[in-house]
Copies of this chain bind each other. A is one copy, B any other.
Amino acid sequence: MACDEGLIGFAVTNSEAIMVPTFSRLAMLGSNPIAISMPAKPYPFFFDASTTVVTRGKLEVYNKNGKPLPEGWALDKNGKGSSDAADVLKNIVAKNGGGIMPLGGEFEQSGGHKGYGYGMICEIFSSILSMGITSNHTHIGGKGGTCHGFCAIDPKIFGDPCKIEEHLSTFLQELRDAPKAEGATRIYTHGEKEIIAYADRMENGIDVNVNTVIEMVDFCKFVGLDVEEYLGKLDLESAKNSSSYN
């Protein structure tokens, strides 16, 4: 919204605790994403990323597909690396210990304390300044309690907004034009992949994991909706043989 008005947008939110701080074995911070957008041509800079290595949703996808988690993503209840998505997800909900690593991984050598620091920045601008509930106290006893922070900055404070936008656009184009790594064919700027994906999904629809469709059908039954009235006849049995449902 800020970007559409020619402003720099900044948004943060804390969440149920899933990030285990460096040297701990208990999730104390949320996935705590930080998002920043800024007008540019041909499309804006649009960065929106959790301060954990991956989000909880990614673990759920691995769990639904019955795949082991890659190394460097998650910790078991003792604070040791784990590839068992189902176990990690169960422990997060039960607050048994374990969770997802901060961006940078488990140890200081690869910069895990930095991801933990970015998670703290998110916490400051969501739960701390608002006197709200920090991630480690949300989602207890059936309550939510997550906090958000929003800010819009007018580039006009700093100079001519058109020139500033042009300056950013030039740098973004230089990044896309930079020499590629061996085996790589394209360098993306932040937000570019989402624009490509959006166009593709509008054209070709969205592939949905079969287990997610089954969940959606169950939810519809639970709230008394006739799902086939909206989506047409679903053939979930034969879909189970492929990995996704379009």
List chain A positions with a Cβ less than 8 A from chain B. Answer: 8, 20-26, 28, 36, 38, 45, 47, 49-51, 53-54, 70, 72, 75, 78-80, 97, 103-105, 109-111, 113-118, 120-121, 123-124, 127-131, 134, 136, 155, 158-159, 163-164, 167-168, 171, 174-175, 178-182, 184-190
Q: Are A124 and B168 in contact (CB under 8 A)?
A: yes
A182: B residues at CB distance < 8 A: 25, 78-80
Q: Which residue of B lies closest to A116 (CB)?
A: B190
Q: Which residue of B lies closest to A117 (CB)?
A: B47
A26 to B179, CA, bound (A): 6
The count of identical subunits is 2
A119 to B162, CA, bound (A): 23
A190: B residues at CB distance < 8 A: 113, 116-117, 120
Q: Are A123 and B171 in contact (CB under 8 A)?
A: yes
Q: Which residue of B lies closest to A98 (CB)?
A: B181
Pairs A–B under 8 Å by Cβ, sample size 25: A21-B187, A23-B184, A23-B188, A25-B181, A36-B121, A38-B128, A49-B111, A49-B113, A53-B104, A54-B111, A70-B110, A72-B110, A79-B180, A97-B179, A103-B104, A104-B115, A105-B110, A117-B190, A118-B118, A120-B190, A124-B168, A128-B164, A129-B155, A131-B159, A131-B167
| Contact A129-B178, Cβ < 8 Å, known A23-B186, A53-B104, A110-B72 | no
A164 to B147, CA, bound (A): 15
| Contact A171-B128, Cβ < 8 Å, known A104-B103, A190-B117 | yes
Q: Are A45 and B187 in contact (CB under 8 A)?
A: no
A75: B residues at CB distance < 8 A: 181
Q: How far is the CB of A66 from chain B (nearest CB, A)?
A: 19
| Contact A181-B80, Cβ < 8 Å, known A111-B103, A188-B23, A190-B113 | yes
A51 to B72, CA, bound (A): 18
